[in-house]
Amino acid sequence: MILGYCGLYCGGCGIYQAARVGNPVKAEDGSLMLCEGCNGSKITEWCTNCAIKSCNRTKGIRYCLECDENPCDILKNFMDDEQYPYHKEVQDNMKRLREIGLEKWINEQQEKYTCPECGHTFNWFDKKCPACHGDS
């Protein structure tokens, strides 16, 4: 559940992280945003309405990595969204996943998003650990 259909590591999502530690983020309407990752039963509205997820499910595949059309226009547009610079890493993520397998890839991603100094988990937008260095 922690690997998005697109190749993102859901563990780098601030909403996912907050829900895991019992401190869910509130949406604008006041509801709690609970997320278990792209393949979980509790997901954000972004994941609910995700064109990539819909495409993968229609094709009967779990990841864009498995698609003969990879990278398709949907994925290219996703990667080119300047508002979300971490989207650019999905192709590299999928390549690495293919090289080392899911379990090792998840371990690498967990290490990438965990501060080596204090062990705090940080998200896709953080350039450095906010626990050690304040807001990033």
Residue 78 lies in a domain: yes
Whether 4 is in a domain gets the answer no
Residue 1 forms part of a structural domain: no
- Cα atoms in the 13 Å half-sphere on the side-chain side of 72: 13
Q: What is the pLDDT along the chain (136 residues), one digit of tens a residue?
A: 789 999 999 999 988 998 888 888 888 888 888 888 888 888 887 788 899 999 999 999 998 989 999 999 999 999 999 999 999 999 999 999 999 999 999 999 999 999 999 999 999 988 788 888 865 5
Q: Helices (H), strands (E): how many in the chain?
A: 7, 2
Give the 3-state secondary structure of 58-75.
Answer: HHCCCCHHHCCCCCCHHH
How far apart CA 32 and CA 119 sit, in angstroms, is 26
How many CB atoms sit inside 10 A of residue 78's CB?
21
Instruction: Classify residue 31: in a domain, yes or no.
Output: yes
Q: What is residue 130's predicted lDDT score, i.e. its pLDDT?
A: 87
* Enclosing domain of residue 46: 10-133
Extract the tokens encoding 7: 């190749």
- How many folded domains does the chain comprise? 1
Pairwise CA distance, residues 58 & 51, whole Å: 10
Q: How far apart are CA 136 and CA 131, in angstroms?
A: 9
In a domain, 5, yes or no: no
Is 84 part of any domain? yes
Evaluate whether residue 67 is within a structural domain: yes
